């Protein structure tokens, strides 16, 4: 094993801690952009990191060199001295070799993306095959319950069809079907399967697909009704970076048109059903600066959840958009409502009145 391999074995959690960074549950405040809530995630199984706020990515070596403002060469020497037992054997033997280390040859250092990285073709294929398998499954109690739930939330058949929301009717069949067609590695890398090779949407049968240029680039699962114990309301793909929901609509906007930015996909769907132009962030904690470019010609209205995270995100987003010279404002929900969809469902009357049943 060479020195680089040794260094790449060091836990990124350990490195971050030793650098004095405040890590909690693999997350920390990103040192590469200004923020109040932690959006940089450390991945111990690959010893890498990714910031959901600014898209900065790298491994232990990059993190160390950036924080300490050292060249890669000096970083490797310092980390060797600090972490690698018997480092002397390397330094005496390979002193001349070290300066020739090329950054691009360092395993796992991926170039920082100036633009949003396109989703890999194989991942879109996996997501779309998953959708096709689910759509081919015959309807059952679960899918009926899902449909009724969506209608109680005020969605029309047209909206559900337009946004191509679907349900997993038979989990085992969906999982089996995907394993027949794709390799374990591809399924895990797509984020749809976990390290134990299980389809991640076990408790989240309602699937919201995120499309870009007509292709599925992301999937979000949701529970039907209130979340069961130990599960969140939503399940996001593992290790895949979030993208905007309904972003394709931004290509069709007119200059100065009002575009609503919501938190949840359902809020966005609800506003579109009401004739508005809307996109959603998926969660209040994530906004990538490169997304701001998509909003350059329009009037943005932030219409986020009525909670601490939503208010904080709106403050931060207003700052970012103003910084980029994009016209923006915010709309606050009346105190009694949690999110846009709640508000609309209540405001427009019962679903019987809407003629949904
Ligand atoms: Zn960042």
My answer on whether 74 and 165 are in the same domain is no
**Residue 315: inside a domain:** yes
My answer on whether 263 and 215 are in the same domain is no
**Residue 293: inside a domain:** yes
Among residues 61, 78, 105, which one ends one of the domains?
Answer: 105
Q: Answer whether residue 200 shows pLDDT above 70.
A: yes
Please give the distance, rounded to the nearest whole angstrom, from the Cα atom of residue 296 to the centre of ligand 1. Answer: 22
**Residue 115: inside a domain:** no
Q: Count the domains in the chain.
A: 3
Q: Answer whether residue 108 shows pLDDT above 70.
A: no
The residue whose two tokens read 């689910």 is 134
Q: How far apart are CA 303 and CA 280, in angstroms?
A: 9
* Least confident among 129-143, 235-249, 253-267: 235-249
Tell how far CA 102 is from the center of its chain: 31
**Which pLDDT belongs to residue 7?**
84
* Average pLDDT along the chain: 83
Pseudo-torsion of CA 198, 203, 206, 209, nearest 10°? Answer: -40
My answer on whether 288 and 231 are in the same domain is no
Please give the distance, rounded to the nearest whole angstrom, from the Cα atom of residue 282 to the centre of ligand 1. Answer: 18
Please give the distance, rounded to the nearest whole angstrom, from the Cα atom of residue 38 to the centre of ligand 1. Answer: 9
Note the pLDDT tens digit of each residue in 172-193: 999 999 999 999 989 998 999 9
Please give the distance, rounded to the nearest whole angstrom, from the Cα atom of residue 40 to the centre of ligand 1. Answer: 6
My answer on whether 132 and 222 are in the same domain is yes
Could you give the percent of the chain with pLDDT greater than 70? 87
* Least confident among 53-67, 159-173, 229-243, 298-312: 229-243
Among residues 211, 236, 261, which one ends one of the domains?
Answer: 236
Please give the distance, rounded to the nearest whole angstrom, from the Cα atom of residue 192 to the centre of ligand 1. Answer: 25
Please give the distance, rounded to the nearest whole angstrom, from the Cα atom of residue 316 to the centre of ligand 1. Answer: 13
Please give the distance, rounded to the nearest whole angstrom, from the Cα atom of residue 122 to the centre of ligand 1. Answer: 27
My answer on whether 268 and 181 are in the same domain is no
Return the closest-CA partner of residue 192 out of 139, 246, 126: 126
**Residue 154: inside a domain:** yes
**Which pLDDT belongs to residue 329?**
92
**Residue 241: inside a domain:** no
Please give the distance, rounded to the nearest whole angstrom, from the Cα atom of residue 200 to the centre of ligand 1. Answer: 27
Please give the distance, rounded to the nearest whole angstrom, from the Cα atom of residue 66 to the centre of ligand 1. Answer: 13
* Burial (0-12, 13-18, 19+ Cβ within 10 Å), 220: buried
* Least confident among 18-22, 212-216, 345-349: 345-349
**Residue 114: inside a domain:** no
Please give the distance, rounded to the nearest whole angstrom, from the Cα atom of residue 31 to the centre of ligand 1. Answer: 6
DSSP 170-193: -HHHHHHHHHHHS-HHHHHHTTSB
**Cβ neighbours of residue 357 closer than 8 Å, sequence gap 6 or more:** 151, 351
Please give the distance, rounded to the nearest whole angstrom, from the Cα atom of residue 60 to the centre of ligand 1. Answer: 16
My answer on whether 229 and 128 are in the same domain is yes
Note the pLDDT tens digit of each residue in 5-16: 878 878 888 889
Confidence of residue 87 (pLDDT cuts 50, 70, 90): low
Range of the domain at 286: 247-354
* Residue 48: strand pairing partners: 43, 59
**Residue 242: inside a domain:** no
**Which pLDDT belongs to residue 8?**
82
Strands (E), the chain: 27-28, 40-43, 48-51, 57-59, 166-167, 206-212, 215-222, 234-236, 258-262, 277-280, 299-303, 328-330
Please give the distance, rounded to the nearest whole angstrom, from the Cα atom of residue 34 to the centre of ligand 1. Answer: 7
State whether the Cα torsion 252-293-239-121 is positive or negative: positive
Please give the distance, rounded to the nearest whole angstrom, from the Cα atom of residue 37 to the centre of ligand 1. Answer: 10
Return the closest-CA partner of residue 216 out of 190, 197, 234, 239: 190
- Which CATH number characterizes residue 143's domain? 3.90.980.10
**Residue 112: inside a domain:** no
Q: What mean pLDDT comes out for the span 220-229?
A: 85
Please give the distance, rounded to the nearest whole angstrom, from the Cα atom of residue 57 to the centre of ligand 1. Answer: 9
**Which pLDDT belongs to residue 11?**
84
My answer on whether 65 and 125 are in the same domain is no
Note the pLDDT tens digit of each residue in 29-85: 998 888 888 999 998 888 899 999 899 999 999 999 988 888 888 999 888 888 776
My answer on whether 12 and 64 are in the same domain is yes
**Which pLDDT belongs to residue 89?**
52
Return the closest-CA partner of residue 244 out of 297, 179, 196, 292: 292
- Which CATH number characterizes residue 91's domain? 3.90.580.10
Residue 127's CB: how many other CB atoms inside 10 A? Answer: 25
Answer for the pair 340, 267: CB distance below 8 angstroms, yes or no: yes
Please give the distance, rounded to the nearest whole angstrom, from the Cα atom of residue 46 to the centre of ligand 1. Answer: 19
Among residues 204, 236, 268, which one ends one of the domains?
Answer: 236
My answer on whether 97 and 153 are in the same domain is no
Tokens in use for 13?
A: 């959690």
Could you give the percent of the chain with pLDDT greater than 90? 41
């Amino acid at each position: 094993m060479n020195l680089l391999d040794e260094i790449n074995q060091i836990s990124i959690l350990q490195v971050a801690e030793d650098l004095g960074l405040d890590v909690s549950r693999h997350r920390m405040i990103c040192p590469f952009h200004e923020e109040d809530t932690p959006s940089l995630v450390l991945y111990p199984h690959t010893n890498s990191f990714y910031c959901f706020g600014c898209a900065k990515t790298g491994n232990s070596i990059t993190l160390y060199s950036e924080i300490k403002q050292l060249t890669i060469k000096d970083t490797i020497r310092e980390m060797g001295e600090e972490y690698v037992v018997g480092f002397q054997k390397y330094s005496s033997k390979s002193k001349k070799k070290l300066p020739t280390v090329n950054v691009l040859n360092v395993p796992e250092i991926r170039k920082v993306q100036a633009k949003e990285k396109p989703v890999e073709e194989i991942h879109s294929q996996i997501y779309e095959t998953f959708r096709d398998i689910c759509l081919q499954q015959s309807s059952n109690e679960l899918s009926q319950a899902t449909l009724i739930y969506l209608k109680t939330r005020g969605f029309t058949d047209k909206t559900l069809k337009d946004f191509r929301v679907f349900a997993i009717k038979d989990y085992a069949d969906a999982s089996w079907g995907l394993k027949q067609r794709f390799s374990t590695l591809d399924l895990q890398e797509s984020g749809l399967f976990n390290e134990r090779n299980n389809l991640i949407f076990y408790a989240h049968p309602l699937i919201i697909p995120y499309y870009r240029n007509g292709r599925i680039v992301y999937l979000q699962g949701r529970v039907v009704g209130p979340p069961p114990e130990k599960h969140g309301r939503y399940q996001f793909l593992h290790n895949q970076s979030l993208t905007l929901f309904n972003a394709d609509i931004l290509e069709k906007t007119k200059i100065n048109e009002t575009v609503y930015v919501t938190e949840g996909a359902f809020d966005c769907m609800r506003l579109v059903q009401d004739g508005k132009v809307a996109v959603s962030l998926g969660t209040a904690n994530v906004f990538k600066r490169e997304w701001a470019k998509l909003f350059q010609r329009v009037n943005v209205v932030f219409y986020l959840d009525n909670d601490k995270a939503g208010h904080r995100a709106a403050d931060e987003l207003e700052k970012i958009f103003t910084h980029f010279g994009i016209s923006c404002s915010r709309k606050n929900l009346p105190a009694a409502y949690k999110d846009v969809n709640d508000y609309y469902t209540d405001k427009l009357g019962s679903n019987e009145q809407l003629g949904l049943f």
